[in-house]
């Protein structure tokens, strides 16, 4: 039997780097993105486009992580060699790692049927200009705070979006959580273009379209749902009414660093971690999940981050940011005018917990303060003294 033709679409989906970014450095792209893409293609016709500069940025971030891992592994294997006298194996060079990373992204694009987008230009030197910016070849330079090179790549993405939309009548979805890029795109006045932070958010909207098939109604309902969950000055919104920040604070086991992974690296990792900052909660997006017995089921993502440090083998100081992601689930009734009523909170669950390097960029991303001048005595004492505010989405 032939497969049914998807009902929705066609959609052109353009992914910015932050929509594909995987917190787990071992993954090429976000697991959530791949899951949402598979789900979306079951009910809609989707053509995925990825700007060339986005693939380059993702590859560069993996390259930085791989280069650091190579240097770190060589140093630790050197220590092991001095202790045991056993020679350590030769690891790949950073240049070899770069080539392999690029090949992996090429294979991934082919596997998910993604087309690379390169804006058309009149001068051949433009391609070299883009590559130099991607790899921070002088005069471009790497910057921990991204202030020296970020705008150029966003401008390339903007040009890519404009050119694709000018040659297509299909509805286009730009996946980007970058506020400045989103504002620039909206300023272009492009018809049939929607900007959402992640593919998970758009997939959620399509699920709701299956219930109503009215885009304007869906857009209004999502705007209402976001306000129902969080409004800074509304004490009746779910966030303040259910004291979400306090509920997260009580989940001590979810706010501790995850156990070390098995293998050679575990030998060198700290056995215990000391807290170096308070928890900072960041509000994510609200997504529609399903209709159950006439009630609309919703999920709002929240992330709590904090800095930790610990001493590994030979008192090697290691600093990390622990990121815990939570799903707050709730339900409601919905009127014909997209008004939400009879809101009921269902609970909070941990969906992910990871440790990432403690860098200036990471602290800025999760609104963490600069490194404190005083240490916390214990994790328990720290949690007892924390009064966590909400960090509104950027």
Peptide bond into 293 cis (omega under 30): no
User: Which burial class, exposed, middle or buried, applies to 83 when counting CB atoms under 10 A from its CB (0-12, 13-18, 19+)?
Assistant: exposed
Which residues, at least 6 apart from 339, have a Cβ–Cβ distance to it below 8 Å? 224
Token pair, residue 51, equals 């700007």
CA distance 175 to 204: 13
- Start-end of CATH 3.40.50.1010 domains in the chain: 7-213
User: Which burial class, exposed, middle or buried, applies to 373 when counting CB atoms under 10 A from its CB (0-12, 13-18, 19+)?
Assistant: exposed
Please state the length of the chain: 394
Which residues, at least 6 apart from 313, have a Cβ–Cβ distance to it below 8 Å? 76, 79, 267, 268
User: Which burial class, exposed, middle or buried, applies to 305 when counting CB atoms under 10 A from its CB (0-12, 13-18, 19+)?
Assistant: buried
CB atoms closer than 10 angstroms to residue 234: 13
Peptide bond into 10 cis (omega under 30): yes
Question: What interhelical angle do 125-134 and 150-166 show, nearest 10?
Answer: 130
Which residues, at least 6 apart from 95, have a Cβ–Cβ distance to it below 8 Å? none
CA distance 88 to 72: 13
CA distance 194 to 269: 44
> What value, to the nearest 5°, has the Cα angle with vertex 39 and ends 37 and 42?
105
pTM over 0.75: yes
Nearest partner of 30 among 383, 306, 38, 155, judged by Cα:
38
Question: 193-196 and 171-175: which strand pairing?
Answer: parallel
Q: Which residues pair with 328 in a beta bridge?
A: 300, 348
CA distance 327 to 247: 12
- Check: CB of residue 52 under 8 Å from CB of residue 105: no
CA distance 50 to 266: 36
**In whole angstroms, what separates CA 385 from the centre of its chain?**
29
How high is the pLDDT of residue 110?
96
Token pair, residue 372, equals 């404190």
Q: Which residues pair with 38 in a beta bridge?
A: none
Nearest partner of 74 among 85, 54, 88, 60, judged by Cα:
88
Across the 394 residues of the chain, what is the mean pLDDT of every consecutive 10-residue run? 65 94 89 94 94 94 90 84 83 92 96 91 63 68 57 81 87 89 84 91 89 82 95 94 95 90 65 92 94 94 95 81 96 93 96 89 87 51 46 46
Complete DSSP assignment for 92-118: PPHHHHHHHHHHHHHHHHHHTTEEEE-
How high is the pLDDT of residue 387?
43
Measured between alpha carbons, how far is residue 28 from residues 20, 24, 61, 123 in Å?
8, 9, 10, 32
The SS3 of residue 308 is: strand
- Check: CB of residue 71 under 8 Å from CB of residue 79: no
Q: Which residues pair with 301 in a beta bridge?
A: 327
Superfamily for the 7-213 domain = 5'-nuclease (3.40.50.1010)
Measured between alpha carbons, how far is residue 302 from residues 92, 285, 321, 351 in Å?
38, 8, 16, 10
């Amino acid at each position: 039997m032939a497969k049914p033709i998807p009902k929705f679409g066609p959609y052109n989906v353009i992914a910015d780097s932050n929509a594909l970014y995987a917190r787990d450095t071992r993954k090429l792209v976000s697991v959530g993105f791949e899951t949402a893409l598979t789900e979306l293609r079951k009910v809609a016709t989707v053509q995925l486009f990825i700007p060339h500069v986005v693939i380059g940025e993702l590859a560069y971030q993996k390259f930085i992580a791989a280069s650091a891992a190579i240097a770190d592994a060589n140093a630790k294997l050197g220590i092991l060699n001095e202790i045991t006298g056993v020679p350590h194996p030769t690891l790949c060079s950073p240049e070899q790692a770069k080539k392999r990373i690029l090949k992996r992204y090429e294979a991934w694009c082919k596997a998910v049927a993604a087309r690379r987008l390169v804006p058309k230009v009149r001068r051949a030197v433009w391609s070299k200009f883009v590559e130099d910016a991607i790899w921070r070849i002088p005069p471009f330079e790497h910057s921990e705070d991204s202030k020296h090179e970020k705008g150029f790549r966003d401008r390339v993405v903007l040009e890519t979006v404009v050119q694709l939309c000018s040659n297509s009548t299909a509805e286009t979805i730009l996946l980007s959580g970058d506020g400045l890029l989103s504002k620039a795109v909206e300023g272009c006045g492009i018809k049939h273009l929607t900007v959402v932070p992640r593919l998970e958010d758009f997939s959620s909207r399509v699920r709701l379209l299956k219930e109503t098939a009215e885009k304007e109604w869906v857009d209004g309902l999502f705007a209402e749902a976001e306000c129902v969950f969080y409004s800074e000055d509304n004490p009746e919104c779910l966030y303040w009414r259910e004291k979400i920040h306090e509920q997260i604070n009580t989940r001590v086991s979810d706010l501790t660093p995850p156990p070390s992974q098995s293998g050679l690296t575990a030998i060198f990792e700290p056995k215990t971690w000391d807290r170096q900052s308070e928890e900072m909660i960041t509000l994510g997006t609200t997504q529609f999940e399903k209709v159950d017995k006439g009630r609309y089921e919703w999920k709002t993502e929240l992330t709590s981050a904090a800095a930790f440090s610990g001493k590994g083998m030979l008192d090697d100081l290691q600093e990390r940011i622990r990121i815990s992601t939570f799903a707050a689930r709730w339900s409601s009734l919905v009127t014909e005018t997209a008004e939400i009523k009879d809101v009921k909170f269902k609970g909070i669950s941990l969906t992910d917990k990871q440790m990432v390097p403690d860098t200036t960029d990471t602290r800025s991303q999760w609104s963490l303060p600069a490194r404190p001048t005083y240490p916390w005595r214990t994790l328990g004492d720290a949690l007892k003294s924390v009064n966590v505010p909400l960090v509104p989405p950027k």
